[in-house]
A = this chain, B = another copy of it.
Amino acid sequence: MSNYAIGVDIGGTNTKFGIVDREGKIIEQGRMLTNAHDTVQGFIGDLYEFLLPMIEKIGGISQFAGIGIGAPNGNYYTGNIEHAANLKWKGIVPLASMLQEKFGMRVKLTNDANAAAAGEQQYGCAKGMKDFITITLGTGVGSGIFINGKIVLGHDGFAGELGHTIIRPGGRLHKGTGIRGPLEAYASATGVRETALEMLEQQPTLPSMLRDIEPADLTSEKVYECAIAGDKIALEIFQFTGQILGEALANFVMFSSPEAIVLFGGLTKAGDLILNPTREAMEANLVQVFKNKVKLVFSNLKEADAAILGASALVWEED
């Protein structure tokens, strides 16, 4: 009986890996530098050296259902990492098949946002749900969508880029894509910082603790600290961010009618400051049939564990 899965989360700097049981307990874990390896072969060799003693400690390969990988630009259909901007391995890297050969286990691979959604379904607050959406509010805005019990991949494997959906046509420029008004330009740590700079400039006479912070040091965390201290502009920033996020969530609900939307990532630390305006704006923009139905919740997975858990959860997904 295979009761364990290996989860590998490949980031631009670090790769985290761990052995996870069916209940989402991380039994063993470790990390290595991703870009210390110029070739993917070198990376795989080192990963094998790290994991082998852990695998043997648990009782060998027969105890394992497989390996799940979350990686930038990871394509579930092909098992390839395709043109990942922040990895040294260029072009198309057939990582899943290479790992399968090295470890002699089934390997599944997708991008980190889809892996996060799989983690929520397997171990988190979307446990057992067939239809839900996870939104990661970090430096950017990531998303993973489940419909009919499966990750939505689209015809080419690239579905679920909700951070790039336009919510303010003609609005704030997204520097990475050159497109105006996407959700990510507002409802991310970067977006909150930009909103802060804009609001401080637009209301030059309104006193704010935010003015004491060097613009270069103005982060979403700082905005949060000022907001809980009662700063008017800081509170307004979260109100504005939640308004935009809530409108976007309403659109997603009217697309796929999920049972829940799970929010994850740095901005969720703002708690009710972000959750309340988000929920209010979402409900206000839903037509009747969807109102007061969708569970809008914060992830209950520990941020430190979530990436490994999400990757490992891919192993338990139905094909």
- Name A's B-contacting residues (CB within 8 A): 129-131, 145, 147-148, 150, 152-162, 164-169, 177, 179, 247, 250-252, 254-259, 284-285, 287-290, 293
Contact = CB atoms under 8 A, between A and B. Distances in A.
A130 to B, nearest CB: 7
Given A148-B148, A159-B256, 12 more contacts: A130-B155, A145-B256, A148-B150, A148-B152, A154-B257, A159-B257, A161-B255, A161-B289, A167-B169, A169-B247, A177-B287, A255-B255
User: Main SS of the interface on chain A?
Assistant: loop
Given A285-B179, A287-B177, A255 B155 contact: no
A130 B148 CA distance: 14
Contacts of A247: 166, 169
B259 A155 contact: yes
A154 B287 contact: no
Contacts of A168: 169
A250 B147 contact: no
Contacts of A165: 250-251, 254-255
Nearest to A131: B155
A169 B150 CA distance: 31
Contact of A152 (B156, B256, B290): B256
Contact of A158 (B158, B169, B289): B289
A158 B252 contact: no
